Amino acid sequence: MMDLTQPQWVKHVVFHPFEGFEDLRWKKGGTLKYTAIIIAALFVAMIADDRWCGFQFRPLPDAMFSVMPYIMKSVVYFLAWVLGNWAICTLLDGEGTMKNICIYSSYALIPYIVSTFINVFLSHILVRDEQVFFSTVYYIGLIWSAILLFSAIKSVHQYTFTKTVAAIILTLFAMLVILFLAVLFLSLFQKVYVFFYSLYTEILYRIRV
């Protein structure tokens, strides 16, 4: 029973928001390979949403293209989520490993990614008066993903409903802290780097003179 291949697992999980992840956990399905593909798709979706939409819905993209904001919006946020959730739920007696949190969370993002791509396509054939279709697709994708993500966290840690809510709220806080620390570290390392570099040039100058 339920001997599914990996692609079938993805389908099963997405279309069974309430018991899909429990099955996945029970059968130890899901691989990191799909996580990588999904996050890559998320990255592309972010770019598509920003730059490939029809002109009637989105302003012209900047002439300068920087990949950093899109990496930030996809990979960095996802990693912060996984890390934050793992850190919080280790303290809250969660059963999920880092690998499982990664896999389950990424599978939950699929409806959102798909809705984004559908919207990018729709934005080329709809006009502004029909924006309601656009936002309908967007909200369906968003809510679907939110339910999946909730269900994913609930299953991966074997939590009750209230505990999952608390864990998610705490995870969001943890993400903030992680991102804050990341920015802090980055600027700090930059300062350190500048310090050593000026030291180096100073010494070089002394040696020469």
Partner 1 sequence: MKKKNKRSYRKQHCAAAGIVCLLVFSSMSAPAAADEPYDVYNYNYLGEAVPSQAGYLAERSVSGLDLGTTALNAPADLFKDSEDFFYLVDSGNNRILKIDSEFTEIVQEYTSFTMPDGSETTMKNPKGVYVSPDTGLMYIADNENSRALIVNPDGTVEKEITKPTSTVYDQQLTFLPQKILCDNAGNVYIVLNNTTKGAAMFDASGEFIGYYGANSVAPTAEVIANHFWNAIASEDEKRYRSRSTPTAFDNFDIDTVKGFIYTSTSSGSTDTDIVKKVNPEGYNLFDYMSNFTWGDLFSTWYSGTSYKTKIVDIDIGDDGSINCLDSTTGRVFQYDKEADLLFIMGATGDQVGSFTAGNVAAIETKGENCENIYVLDAGKGSVTVFGQTVFGQIVHHATTLYNGGYYEEALDPWLEVLKRDGNYRRAYLGISSAYYNMGRYKESMEYAKKADASARYNKAFERYRSQWLRQHLTAILIIAVVLIVGIKVLKRVLKNKRKKPADTASSGSGS
Task: Report the SS3 class of residue 56.
Answer: coil
In this structure, are residues 146 and 113 in contact, taking their beta carbons and an 8 Å threshold?
Answer: no
Binding mask 19-58 for partner 1 (x = CB under 8 A): -----------------------------------xxxx-
Task: Report the SS3 class of residue 137.
Answer: helix
The answer to whether 66 contacts partner 1 (rule: CB under 8 A) is: no
Binding partner 1 (rule: CB under 8 A), the pick from 67, 91, 125, 207 is 125
Amino acid found at 130: E
CB atoms within 10 A of CB 177: 12
- Cα angle: 186, vertex 36, 96; to 5 degrees: 85
Q: How far apart are CA 150 and CA 177, in angstroms?
A: 21
Q: Please give the span between the terminal C-alpha atoms of the chain, in angstroms, as a whole number.
A: 80
Stretch that binds partner 1, among 122-130, 167-175, 178-186, 193-201 (CB under 8 A): 122-130
Binding partner 1 (rule: CB under 8 A), the pick from 59, 68, 91, 132 is 59
Beta carbon nearer to partner 1, 7 or 59? 59
Q: How far apart are CA 152 and CA 20, in angstroms?
A: 9
The answer to whether 60 contacts partner 1 (rule: CB under 8 A) is: yes
Beta carbon nearer to partner 1, 3 or 129? 129
Beta carbon nearer to partner 1, 57 or 121? 57
- Minimum Å gap between C-beta 50 and partner 1 is 15
Residues that bind partner 1 in the complex, under the rule CB under 8 A:
54-57, 59-60, 125, 127-129
